[in-house]
Amino acid sequence: MTPRGAYRRLIVSRFFAYARLARLHKPIGIWLLLWPTLWALWLAAEGVPSAGILTVFVLGTILLRSAGCIINDYADRFIDPHVARTKDRPLATGEVSVVEASTLFIALMLIGFGLVLTLNRQTQLLAVIGAILTIVYPFAKRFISSPQFVLGVAFSWGVPMAFAAITGEVPRIGWLLFVVTMAWVILYDTEYAMVDRDDDIKLGVRSTAILFGDLDRVFIGGFQILFLLGLYLVGNSAELGSWYMAGLIPTCALMLYQQKLIKDRKPAKCLQAFLNNAWVGGFVFLGIVLGYFS
């Protein structure tokens, strides 16, 4: 192989290593972060938002999720090698160094801030809080028994940002949607935590799945009810009409399906329940879109 070919091969291998570090090969996190942001953008604009703002938020969501995965793996770099699901992550195996990961994290955050600078002042201030939340969450698992609540705030922060970007403020419906999104994040991340519960107990990692023990399904069910009730209130406040309300039917069905999946607490089924939430977000978004066009 020529020196140029070897260099090209090295570049390609590093690119794919960084892409796996940012979890680009597993887009579920992007969808779960993006759906509530799209809900908020459509509600704030009362229809289709401007192409410029939509582009900033879509790209910003991808960047923030990627940066969040990197800081999470940095925080868990001594834990991941001991967990079956995470032992092959680039930082856990040493394929990517701490310096490389830190550099990529800073680069992604700077690009994200560059995008935010195209928006108004209030959105920029909210973005600073969002960045802090992104950094804080991975370490919350060491200190509090319910880190899912911290993630709930972090993953819902795009909602007030979207309203601020379009309307210049965060109205009551914006904060209502923020709380609704928090309920959703808490329930699906608890399902996710059920996958690693046995390993997390051994390693001292905390989660709501561990905190509530045999009541985990009841805990999740309670937040599913809060989520569905909140979505109803959002639709009623925005006067979205029957098409939106009809869209809550498949959403409710998916919640019931998730309860069935986690019934026996088998890790593979719990992971399936977690992944199913991408469809939940899509149906809610479809209901909002149809609500404005009906």
Chain position carrying tokens 């479809």: 286
CA dihedral of residues 282, 288, 292, 293 (deg, nearest 10): 30
Residues contacting residue 81 through CB under 8 Å, at least 6 positions apart: 87, 92, 93
pTM beyond 0.75: the answer is yes
Structural domain count of the chain = 1
* Cβ atoms of 229 and 184 closer than 8 Å: no
Instruction: Output the domain CATH number for residue 270.
Output: 1.10.357.140
Residues contacting residue 155 through CB under 8 Å, at least 6 positions apart: 32, 33, 36, 181, 185
- How confident is the model at residue 88, as a pLDDT? 87
What is the spatial distance between Cα 291 and Cα 294, in angstroms, rounded to a whole number? 5
- How confident is the model at residue 79, as a pLDDT? 84
- How confident is the model at residue 138, as a pLDDT? 84
What is the spatial distance between Cα 112 and Cα 127, in angstroms, rounded to a whole number? 9
What is the spatial distance between Cα 293 and Cα 42, in angstroms, rounded to a whole number? 11
- How confident is the model at residue 279, as a pLDDT? 97
- How confident is the model at residue 142, as a pLDDT? 74
* Cβ atoms of 36 and 161 closer than 8 Å: no
Residues contacting residue 214 through CB under 8 Å, at least 6 positions apart: none
Report which secondary-structure segment, H or E, holds 218.
Answer: helix 216-238
- How confident is the model at residue 4, as a pLDDT? 66
What is the spatial distance between Cα 78 and Cα 89, in angstroms, rounded to a whole number? 11
- How confident is the model at residue 9, as a pLDDT? 76
Q: Render each residue's pLDDT in the chain as its tens digit; 294 residues.
A: 566 666 677 677 888 888 998 998 889 999 999 999 999 999 999 999 999 999 999 999 999 999 999 999 888 888 888 887 888 888 888 888 999 999 999 999 999 999 999 999 999 999 999 999 888 888 887 778 888 999 899 999 999 999 999 999 999 999 999 999 999 999 999 999 999 888 888 878 888 999 899 999 999 999 999 999 999 999 999 999 889 999 899 999 999 999 999 999 999 999 999 999 999 999 999 999 999 886
Instruction: Supply the DSSP symbol for 50.
Output: P
- How confident is the model at residue 163, as a pLDDT? 97
**What range defines the domain where residue 143 resides?**
3-293
